[in-house]
Amino acid sequence: MDTDVLVVGAGPTGLMLANQLVRRGVRVVIIDRHARPALQSRALGVQPRTLEIYAKLGIVDRALELGKPGTGVNLWAQGRKLARVPFGQAGHDVTPYPFILILGQDDNERIMGDKLRELGLAVQWNTELVGLAQEGDKVTATLKLAGGTRRAIVAAWVAGCDGAHSSVRELSGITFPGAPYEHVFFVADTEATGSMIADEVNVYLWREGFHLLFPMRGKDHWRIVGILPPSLRRDDVKFESVIPSLRKEAGAELLFKACTWFSTYRIHHRAAARFRDRRCFLLGDAAHIHSPVGAQGMNTGLQDAYNLAWKLALVVKDRADAALLDSYEEERIPVARFLLNTTDRGFRLAVSDSWLAGLFRTEVIARVVAFAMSRERFQKVAFRLVSQTGIRYRKSALSRSLEGLPESAPGAGDRFPWLRLKFRTDGSVEDLFQKLDDTHFNLIVLGQPAPSEGALDLGGLLRVHLIPADPINDAELARAQIPKPSFYLLRPDGHVGLCGTRIDAAAVKQYVSANLHLRV
Ligand SMILES: Cc1cc2nc3c(=O)[nH]c(=O)nc-3n(C[C@H](O)[C@H](O)[C@H](O)COP(=O)(O)OP(=O)(O)OC[C@H]3O[C@@H](n4cnc5c(N)ncnc54)[C@H](O)[C@@H]3O)c2cc1C
């Protein structure tokens, strides 16, 4: 076997997966058919859940340094600002990062690439996957190198992080049903001044569509995304041609000093019929593509990688049976389908050509959004949805709630809430997420003694956190609706695997072998 895992594609998804596998001691080869990383920024919004994962990987400070926290969205229609939707207020007790970080995909890739090199692995550029053959416990991949030479590499597992035109998907015979949207979009990175509210996302709604202006690093730098007017649908269209329609909708005071990148593209909404064929997995755009509504695309790929990495590492290291890997598809396909449905609905409303939809867009949407966002409950629901902190796997075979916990408490499959707790009665308040070790399982014990050493021996895979009785802890637990006594066994990715009231070592052991398929 040449390697444990061959990661195909060094976009954001492949880089995240390679990082997560290498830091868990897995042998990885990562290839990309291009000669170097992409220079275009493409995706711009990094969601809070991704920042939490970046924190565990040790790259969040660099991301925060390079990015710009988006503090709100302003909705404009017919030259008037109709509403401002603040980010963050609803998320300040949900996550340490209650904002969308505006940071280009190129910067995200650079940060993850640097981290991977620091961990001792370099991307093999100019290396394209052109063939796959699965046989027993191995996959033989044929790679085409620069100059056309071919070589074979044998891997135990292959991860297709190779984008919308995935070779892994095609070579595995997995279909990619869906369709393109009829509209053509443009994206431009510009230096501009105008009515836009600085450092915030500005959405200009108009009868025939919308323009989105995202603040980028540097003074007066804006990423503009919009629908290309039908009269301009030709191959040689330039940014200058779209300026008149932009100024018509976003105001005549909109002035452009420079445009450093302009591209047009069509958007598809598709999801792979399966995310796995035996030893080959699909992640990121290889598995699902959808409209950019909500800035979810890149983030969803990164979380596919975070979901698969710990499972694959345990199987590669012979600590778990391969059955654990069945949960990857089981957990991530519903996330992708939900995303496709919600972004599709939102997107159709945003681009519909009908007169009624146009009226709805300019007259009704902004007012409805402004009203809804003044309601705290709606703000919280919207925050959890967009920030991806609300993603949960309640129906997964890995999720098991023992009897006794109230409905309102966090349940099996949920991302365990972010808490600030005292871990010693004489200590200071600490961030739970910083205490959790994402290369291990974490057992949180509340209102009862920790199990004796040996009673829960997971062969060194478990970290136990006993939360002492303390008024500060009690208030924090009440806020998160966590009762006492209770216990939460967290998976390495921070989702609850098993939970209940009194710890029962036999039930934990049964869960660990029957649900997690661990060899302990
Ligand atoms: C113009 C544009 C604007 C976008 N804007 C947004 C946005 O605002 N927000 C958002 O969330 N998303 C946006 N996206 C989508 C976002 O860029 C993707 O969701 C993201 O890139 C997915 O990452 P990935 O790693 O899964 O795939 P990719 O980034 O596509 O990376 C796949 C990698 O695999 C490599 N590869 C492909 N085939 C092979 C092969 N056979 N062998 C070896 N290597 C191979 C490719 O060279 C590439 O480097 C945009 C996309 C485009 C094109």
Per-residue pLDDT of the chain in tens (520 residues, 90 and over written 9): 999 999 999 999 999 999 999 999 999 999 999 999 987 778 888 999 999 999 999 999 999 999 988 878 888 887 788 778 777 677 889 999 999 899 999 999 999 999 999 999 999 999 999 999 999 999 999 999 998 999 999 999 999 999 999 999 999 999 999 988 888 889 999 999 999 999 888 988 876 678 889 998 888 999 998 888 888 888 789 999 999 888 887 777 889 999 999 999 888 889 999 999 999 999 999 999 987 766 788 999 999 999 999 999 999 999 999 999 999 999 999 999 988 888 777 666 666 666 566 656 566 666 666 666 667 777 788 788 888 999 999 999 999 999 899 999 999 999 999 999 999 999 999 999 999 999 999 999 999 998 887 778 888 999 999 999 999 999 999 999 999 999 999 999 999 999 999 998 899 999 999 999 999 8
Given a contact cutoff of 8 angstroms between Cβ atoms, the answer to whether 448 and 485 are in contact is yes
> Which residue owns the Cα nearest ligand 1 atom 7?
43
Pocket test for ligand 1, best of 20, 31, 33 (most atoms within 8 A of CB): 33
> Which residue owns the Cα nearest ligand 1 atom 53?
42
Pocket test for ligand 1, best of 8, 17, 162, 170 (most atoms within 8 A of CB): 162
Cα distance between residue 286 and residue 276, in whole Å: 11
Sign of the C-alpha dihedral, residues 234, 239, 244, 249? positive
How would DSSP label each residue in 23-51? TTT--EEEE-SSSS---S----EEPHHHH
- Would you say the pTM of this structure is higher than 0.85? yes
CA 177-275-281 angle, to 5 degrees, is: 135
- The residue assigned the tokens 């806020």 is 479
Q: Which of helix, strand or coil describes residue 236?
A: coil
Atom of ligand 1 nearest to the CA of 9: 34
> Which residue owns the Cα nearest ligand 1 atom 9?
43
Side chain identity at residue 391, one-letter code? I
φ/ψ (deg, to 5) at 280: -115, 135
Q: Ligand 1: which residues within 6 Å by Cβ?
A: 8-14, 31-34, 42-45, 105, 128-129, 161-163, 167, 187, 263, 265, 284-285, 292, 295-298, 301
Cα distance between residue 185 and residue 205, in whole Å: 15
- DSSP for residue 361: I
- The residue assigned the tokens 């958007």 is 267
Cα distance between residue 34 and residue 42, in whole Å: 16
- In our burial notation (b when 16+ CB lie closer than 10 A, e otherwise), range 350-365 reads bbbeeeebbebbbeeb
Side chain identity at residue 464, one-letter code? V
